Amino acid sequence: MKSLAKGLLHMKLAFGLDSNVKDANNNINSLEDYPSLKFASNPELNLSWNHLEGSIPSFLSGFTSLDLSNNKFSGSISLLCGATSLSFVDLSNNRLSGELPKCDNPIPLGSLVILDLANNNFSGTLFPAWIGTMINIQALQLRNNNFTGQVPHTLKNCRKLQVLDVGENELSGPIPEWIGTSFEDLIVLSLRSNHFNGGIPLQLCNLSRLQIFDLSANNISGAIPNCINNLNALSEKGNTNETISISYTSGVGSLTTYATIFDPEASMNWKGNVYEYNSSLLGKVKNIDLSDNKLNGEIPREISKLVGLVSLNLSWNRLIGQIPLDIGNLESLQTLDLSNNQLNGSIPKSVSKIPRLYPMNLSNNSLWGEIPTGPQLDTFDGEVYQGNPGLCGYPLENSCSPSNPPPSTTASDGNEVVDMDCFYLSMALGYSVGLSAVFVTLLLNTSWRRSYFNFLSNVNDWIYVKVAINKAKLCELFKTLTNNGNQSALPRQGRLPS
């Protein structure tokens, strides 16, 4: 049997014994090199962050905690089919592939608390039947694989979930409504970069502990629910959870029990880039990301009540209307992206009250008016406002003036700006329609036509008489003035100089 020498790898036995496993960078190619692991009695095994490769032996299912993350393991996994004692499984960041095992006689995985299979090459239907037996699961991380199909109904049995991250897969179908009613302890919900469609279920507003809400890069349509302010954890300033950590216990029977803390990670778009954040940062970043979907309607005013929000991204949708006037209430906000929508109206002055806002992106909308100023807003360049030809003022080159009025639009607060082109067009159409109606009526109705022409004839006679009388009066007045002028001029013409 190969010796277990000092190194970076650590195997902790349930009875408190410690054995150090040699660094696998050079000499260990497969766990099959250590058959002694088969005889370990329910230990915790941590072989993460090495260069281990090959397949994962099924006998490792006898451990209570198994961390093989950040290695080069490949192939499929079958150890979950008999993992009655496993409470922690982290196989993330490997080269594992294929479908999750179906398990001919699946054994309930009631002891499993953490399952992390993120950043592998798994494919096929997302959840086999045994997923619904994980009644104590608290963190399920399956992001960045190739899972397909819909989220199965059996997952609703996992009512203790705090972290659900299935982002960056090929999942489809509507977002299940029961996510909002079954997972009342959910803190992280990431469905980003899939093919989910339909609307945002109103039931998601029941997730009062939710801090990371990421539905970005899907095909979600409809309006943003007005009940979004019911996400209580996002309505509280400060950090509800400084860290998002999950503690669980494991041991051998009733002899020895010890607590372990798991720090989950999540992939998130932050200031234009996608990062993976560990628990120490997840608790500080309260985030809503609904970008890159097909959402329509207005931004609900209720979103201004989520005063704990640190990041809000609604870009690349079809949102209309004005930016909520009270958006300045989001004083904890550090990044705001409303770009590439159809928003109109002016930029609320209250946005200048957000002290740590950077960056902000309002580009490619139909906003107009003067850009608000403030200590933080004055640090932005013109790119954050580009694609809004009606905006003026610093940092743009075009200054605001009465000769440069805002483009026509209709404000949602009741203040209407008249579109002059539409006004003139409607006047012309109305005049044409009205005149045509008169002509058609006269053409079809003989009695009306005769009456109309008699009326015109009488009007013509009246005008002729009036003009003739006034003309005669003017001629008489002109003659009188002319005669008086000649008589007054005669003495002056006959006077001789002295």
Using 50, 70 and 90 to split pLDDT, how confident is the model at 150?
A: very high
Give the pLDDT score at 414. 39
pTM for the predicted model, two decimal places: 0.73
HSE-CB for 482 with a 13 A CA cutoff:
6
Q: Any bridge partners for residue 18, and if so which?
A: 12
**Is the pLDDT score of 93 beyond 80?**
yes
The two three-digit tokens of residue 267, written as one number: 């992939």
Give the pLDDT score at 225. 98
Enumerate the H helices of 71-216 as residue ranges.
179-182
Own/partner pairs for 105-109, CB < 8 Å, 24+ apart? 106/81, 106/130, 106/133, 107/81, 107/82, 107/83, 107/133, 108/84, 108/133, 108/135, 109/80, 109/83, 109/84, 109/133, 109/134, 109/137
Backbone φ/ψ region at 224: left (φ over 0), alpha (ψ -120 to 50), beta: beta
**Is the pLDDT score of 123 beyond 90?**
yes
Using 50, 70 and 90 to split pLDDT, how confident is the model at 176?
A: very high
Residue-wise pLDDT for 349-364, tens only, equals 999 999 999 889 999 9
Amino acid at 163: V
HSE-CB for 486 with a 13 A CA cutoff:
5
Q: What angle do CA 146, 50, 242 make, to 5 degrees?
A: 70
HSE-CB for 214 with a 13 A CA cutoff:
28
| Domain map (residue ranges) of the chain | 9-392, 431-494
Give the pLDDT score at 204. 98
**Is the pLDDT score of 383 beyond 80?**
yes
**Rounded average pLDDT over 169-182:** 97
Tally of CB atoms within 10 A around 397 = 7
Using 50, 70 and 90 to split pLDDT, how confident is the model at 110?
A: confident
Give the pLDDT score at 43. 76
Residue-wise pLDDT for 192-233, tens only, equals 999 999 999 999 999 999 999 999 999 999 999 999 999 999
What is the rounded distance in angstroms from the CA atom of residue 401 to the CA atom of residue 183?
Answer: 54
Q: What angle do CA 284, 170, 120 make, to 5 degrees?
A: 70
Using 50, 70 and 90 to split pLDDT, how confident is the model at 166?
A: very high
Architecture of domain 9-392: Alpha-Beta Horseshoe (3.80)
**Rounded average pLDDT over 307-315:** 96
Residue-wise pLDDT for 456-469, tens only, equals 656 555 675 566 66
**Is the pLDDT score of 260 beyond 70?**
no
Give the pLDDT score at 484. 58
**Least confident window among 2-16, 35-49, 139-153, 351-365:** 2-16
HSE-CB for 38 with a 13 A CA cutoff:
9
Give the pLDDT score at 128. 81
Using 50, 70 and 90 to split pLDDT, how confident is the model at 489?
A: very low
What is the rounded distance in angstroms from the CA atom of residue 283 to the CA atom of residue 285?
Answer: 6
Amino acid at 115: L
Nearest to 392 by CA among 360, 435, 426, 347: 347
Give the pLDDT score at 238. 65
Looking at residue 14, the DSSP 8-state letter turns out to be: T
The two three-digit tokens of residue 24, written as one number: 């696998």
Q: Any bridge partners for residue 257, and if so which?
A: 251
Residue-wise pLDDT for 388-437, tens only, equals 999 999 999 888 976 555 555 444 443 334 444 554 555 556 556 555 55
**Least confident window among 170-174, 218-222, 365-369, 422-426:** 422-426
DSSP string covering 263-296, please?
---EEEEETTEEEEE-HHHHTT--EEE--SSEEE
What is the rounded distance in angstroms from the CA atom of residue 386 to the CA atom of residue 366?
Answer: 10
Q: Which residue has the tokens 């109904």?
A: 153
Give the pLDDT score at 306. 97
**Is the pLDDT score of 479 beyond 80?**
no
Alpha-carbon distances of 164 from 65, 92, 114, 267, 280, rounded to whole Å: 20, 15, 11, 12, 17
**Is the pLDDT score of 281 beyond 60?**
no
Give the pLDDT score at 62. 81
Share of the chain above pLDDT 70, in %: 63
Give the pLDDT score at 272. 57
Q: Are 42 and 85 in contact (CB under 8 A)?
A: yes
**Rounded average pLDDT over 135-157:** 93
Using CB atoms within 10 Å of the CB of residue 429, give its burial: 0 to 12 exposed, 13 to 18 middle, 19+ buried: exposed
State the DSSP H helix or E strand holding residue 479, giving kind and residue range, or none if neither: helix 446-494
Give the pLDDT score at 386. 96
Give the pLDDT score at 259. 42
Give the pLDDT score at 108. 74
Top-confidence residue, 134 or 464: 134
Computed over every residue of the chain, the mean pLDDT equals 78
Helices then strands, counting H and E runs in the chain, come out as 4, 31
**Is the pLDDT score of 102 beyond 60?**
yes
The two three-digit tokens of residue 23, written as one number: 């660094």
What is the rounded distance in angstroms from the CA atom of residue 245 to the CA atom of residue 259?
Answer: 12
- Please give the backbone phi and psi of residue 303, each rounded to the nearest 5 degrees, phi first: -65, -20
Give the pLDDT score at 233. 94
**Rounded average pLDDT over 148-176:** 95
Nearest to 91 by CA among 64, 72, 110, 107: 72
What is the rounded distance in angstroms from the CA atom of residue 237 to the CA atom of residue 233?
Answer: 9
Nearest to 263 by CA among 180, 141, 160: 141
What is the rounded distance in angstroms from the CA atom of residue 142 to the CA atom of residue 115?
Answer: 8
Give the pLDDT score at 271. 52
Q: Which residue has the tokens 């200054």?
A: 399
Query: Parallel, antiparallel, or unpaired: how do β-strands 163-165 and 95-98 relate?
Result: unpaired
Using 50, 70 and 90 to split pLDDT, how confident is the model at 482?
A: low
Using 50, 70 and 90 to split pLDDT, how confident is the model at 125?
A: confident
Helix (H, G, I), strand (E, B) or coil at 20: strand
Give the pLDDT score at 273. 58
